[in-house]
Structure 1
Amino acid sequence: MMRHANGFGLVEIMLALLLGLVMSLALTQIFATTKSTYLSQTSSASLQEDARFVLAKITQEVRLAGMFGCLGRVEDKSRGGQFSRAFHAPVEWNAQQRSLTLNTAAIDADRSWHTWEVHTDCASSATAWTRGGAPKPAEGEIALAVHRQIYRFNLEREELALNGQPLLSNVRAFSVLFGVASGVNAKGIARYTAQPDPAMIRSVRLTMTLYDPADRTQEYTFNVVAAIRNRLG
């Protein structure tokens, strides 16, 4: 008596293999898409975090630009009289060198690297000294640390540097415009320009474009406007 053998036929095996292959390809595609999305979101978040850190630092210093004490006049006893230029032009943008110079009050607790010290009694006298050459403040005087910060954009390296040290890489563009008033005593902003009269400056607009070198996300352009809190000029 003949018995029928139980099992799978060739057609069934081929169909099972084909179905398994289709499912494997679908899962692989889902995994690849998920990984690509994750890398894109991570890269985007990293660019935004870098921009937020750098622009927040610069805007904080912009708001303190020109804050050289309580008085409108400061006697310059710094080396070579360098403080006088900082006093009259606390914010400068050099379009050719792509550099932004900020002369600003210290915002950190460590004042060991400041450029100048201003000693003032906030009533009748204020004197500027070069770091390391300043005497002890006289009785009734306070010492205000002043930094010179130079941000320079290197187009060839696509890098933003601070005082000659690399600060941020993968920078496609960096530019500065100044919101200026129509007159010395006017408060509103009449227009934006790259080369203003210091006395007319009311705000600073920073524009920076960052990119991912691995091309995992699109380029991002960030804009921020910082108001000048201290009258310049």
Structure 2
Amino acid sequence: MNRLNRGFGLIEMLIALALSLVVVLGVAQVFIAAKNTYVSQNAAANMQEDARFVLSKMIQEIRMVGMFGCLGTIIDASAGASFTASQITPISWDNANLKLTLVTADVGAGGGTPTWTVVSDCRNTAMAYSNVQAPATGQLAFPIRRLIYSLKNGQLTMGSGIGTPTQAVLVDNVSKFDVSFGLAASATDTAASSYSPNPSDPARIRSVRLTLTLRDPNSRVRDQTFNVVAALRNRLP
């Protein structure tokens, strides 16, 4: 038989199959790695989006803490004189129960029913009423809400109202929620010089630092911690 007409031998076929298998395995490995990278990046992006939504909302509300209208003196006409107590402590953090309470001016018209409404002519009188109160001619209405954020069973929830309001879930898979307050050296200083979770003098609070840690329930990405600082626009009593 002519040597030039011979086909591939068994050894050559085995070598070719082995090389093809190596190439296929390499391509599959690259594909799997690319897919895992996409899945982990997508999970991280979802966590960042959840954190951005919650923290931006809380920052907006923290900045409006202590804003009770255009006059400093307000007559409390609310049920049970509940508004007076809210003025004394418009922001507080319960570290044992992981609960943040805010008394803040409602931002925009989409906040739902306010806890109180301060009606004022911005010159002589201001009165606080429970729920919604329509202003008379020449008056302005300032909706005020009492908000409670809390962490329980891996869920960050929020409720609005007096007492212990019903909580709605804002975000799941939360492993840590922490709050600390930036304190000035004295009630007259403007800049925060230290942080504390339980300040003894609310008049020294200048900012609020929020820490939120989210986890991926499918362990596709490591826990991600987000920190933001919100400055108070209104001095607390």
The answer to whether the superposition gives a TM-score over 0.5 is: yes
Residue 155 of structure 2 is matched in structure 1 by 159
Secondary structure of the residue aligned to 1:216 is: coil
Match of 1:194 among 163, 180, 197: 197
Residue 184 of structure 1 is matched in structure 2 by 187
CA contact (8 A) 1:159 1:167 kept: yes
Residue 168 of structure 1 is matched in structure 2 by 171
Query: What is the Cα-based RMSD across aligned positions, in Å?
Result: 1.4
How many pairs were matched up? 228
Deviation at 1:218, TM superposition (A): 1.3
Match of 1:214 among 196, 199, 218: 218
Deviation at 1:180, TM superposition (A): 1.3
CA gap 1:112/1:166 in 2 versus in 1, 3 angstroms = closer
Residue 106 of structure 1 is matched in structure 2 by 106
Query: Does the alignment pair 1:146 with 2:148?
Result: no
CA contact (8 A) 1:88 1:198 kept: no
Residue 53 of structure 1 is matched in structure 2 by 53
Deviation at 1:95, TM superposition (A): 1.2
> What whole-Å deviation, never above 9, does each CA across 1:165-204 have from its counterpart, x for those lacking one?
1111111111100111222222121321112222111100
Cα distance between partner residues in 1 of 2:220 and 2:73: 53
Cα distance between partner residues in 2 of 1:32 and 1:3: 47
Given residue 118 of structure 1, which amino acid in structure 2 is its aligned partner? V
Normalized against structure 2, the TM-score is what? 0.92
Q: Mind listing any 5+ residue stretches in structure 2 that lack a counterpart?
A: 160-166
Normalized against structure 1, the TM-score is what? 0.93
CA gap 1:127/1:215 in 2 versus in 1, 3 angstroms = same
Give the percent of matched residue pairs that are identical in Structure 1 and Structure 2. Answer: 45
Cα distance between partner residues in 1 of 2:138 and 2:93: 37
Residue 163 of structure 2 is matched in structure 1 by none
Indicate the larger mover: 184-193 or 20-29.
184-193
Cα distance between partner residues in 2 of 1:31 and 1:153: 39
Q: Mind listing any 5+ residue stretches in structure 1 that lack a counterpart?
A: none
Cα distance between partner residues in 1 of 2:130 and 2:198: 28
Given residue 139 of structure 2, which amino acid in structure 1 is its aligned partner? E
Cα distance between partner residues in 2 of 1:231 and 1:139: 30
Deviation at 1:111, TM superposition (A): 4.8
Deviation at 1:110, TM superposition (A): 2.7
Residue 121 of structure 1 is matched in structure 2 by 121
Deviation at 1:3, TM superposition (A): 5.9
Name segments (4+ residues, structure 1) moved above 6 Å. none
